[in-house]
């Protein structure tokens, strides 16, 4: 379980696809001494398990299923990714409940500066628009964000200067894809409405 509040930007140091799964080594400034082997770390929205670690790197194994459902397959050596360790009992819930299970990917349609902020518009695959609502929550590449507006299968978010400078959203260009996790409350409300309908 995560909050969608990014704690560090990691850097991909190696990608090894010679075995069944893909092993990815990630460099980080997080305190890895506090991270147990087998612990979960949210990597740009994907909940991945620590299988090896050093003082300043950790490695994860990524299955074919995860590669097919996320943007992990587009990562290369030196790619920057958002990192958040899993919640511990007593941690502050500052964002919203994030599971680290990516539902789909979305394409970045536009980036527009607005004062000190940036307005980003994304396009979802058909069928996912029912889960996105103005002023609702959405997780983009592991970042808890508030939806500003929705227009059919497109939605916009406003990125304040702090978030722009402390996440990888500033690395994104028009046409790039991002990981999307639907708000768990939106998922259950949509399911309840389907059952009642």
CA triple 36-96-190, angle to 5 deg:
120
Residue 91 lies in a domain: no
Full-model pTM: 0.92
Residue 1 lies in a domain: no
Domain that holds residue 45: 8-85
* Average pLDDT taken over every residue of the chain: 92
Mean pLDDT of 83-92: 78
Residue 40 lies in a domain: yes
Mean pLDDT of 38-61: 97
The per-residue pLDDT for 93 is 65
pLDDT band at 197; cut points 50, 70, 90: low
Burial 124-162 (b: 16+ CB within 10 A, else e): beeebbebbeeebbbbbbbbbbebeebeebbbbbbbeee
- Specify whether the CB–CB gap between 144 and 182 falls below 8 A: no
Contacts of 125 (CB under 8 A, 6+ apart): 104, 105, 106, 153
Residue 186 lies in a domain: yes
Mean pLDDT of 31-36: 93
CA-to-CA separations, 125 to 100, 103, 105, 107, 122, in angstroms, rounded: 19, 11, 8, 9, 10
Residues 74 and 70: their CA atoms lie apart, in Å, by: 9
Residue 21 lies in a domain: yes
Residues 52 and 36: their CA atoms lie apart, in Å, by: 10
121 and 81 part of one domain: no
pLDDT band at 143; cut points 50, 70, 90: very high
pLDDT band at 140; cut points 50, 70, 90: very high
Contacts of 95 (CB under 8 A, 6+ apart): 2, 3, 4, 5, 137, 144
Bridging pattern class, strands 57-62 and 80-85: unpaired
Residue 187 lies in a domain: yes
Q: How many domains, in total, are found in the chain?
A: 2
pLDDT band at 183; cut points 50, 70, 90: confident
- Specify whether the CB–CB gap between 183 and 95 falls below 8 A: no
Residue 3 lies in a domain: no
Q: What is the DSSP-derived secondary structure letter of residue 72?
A: G
At 96-116, the pLDDT tens digits run 788 999 999 999 999 999 999
Least confident interval from 36-45, 106-115, 128-137, 173-182: 128-137
The last residue of a domain, from among 36, 54, 85: 85
The per-residue pLDDT for 70 is 97
128 and 173 part of one domain: yes
61 and 108 part of one domain: no
Check which CATH number belongs to the domain holding 136 and give it: 2.40.30.20
164 and 191 part of one domain: yes
58 and 123 part of one domain: no
Q: Is the predicted pLDDT of residue 1 greater than 90, yes or no? A: no
């Amino acid at each position: 379980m995560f909050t969608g509040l990014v704690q560090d930007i990691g850097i991909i140091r190696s990608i090894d696809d010679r075995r069944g799964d893909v092993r990815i080594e990630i460099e980080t400034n997080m305190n890895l001494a506090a991270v147990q082997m087998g612990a979960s770390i949210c990597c740009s929205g994907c909940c991945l398990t620590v299988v090896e670690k050093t003082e300043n790197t950790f490695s994860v194994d990524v299955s074919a299923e995860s590669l097919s459902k996320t943007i992990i397959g587009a990562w290369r050596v030196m790619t920057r990714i958002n990192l958040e360790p899993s919640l511990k009992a007593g941690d502050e819930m500052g964002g919203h409940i994030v599971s680290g299970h990516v539902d789909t990917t979305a394409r970045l349609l536009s980036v527009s500066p607005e004062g000190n902020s940036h307005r980003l518009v994304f396009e979802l695959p058909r069928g996912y628009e029912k889960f996105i609502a103005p002023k609702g929550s959405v997780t983009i590449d592991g970042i808890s964000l508030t939806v500003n507006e929705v227009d059919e299968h497109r939605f916009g978010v406003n990125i304040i200067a702090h978030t722009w400078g402390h996440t990888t959203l500033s690395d994104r260009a028009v046409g790039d894809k991002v990981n999307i996790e639907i708000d768990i409350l939106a998922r259950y409300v949509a399911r309840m409405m389907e059952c009642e309908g």
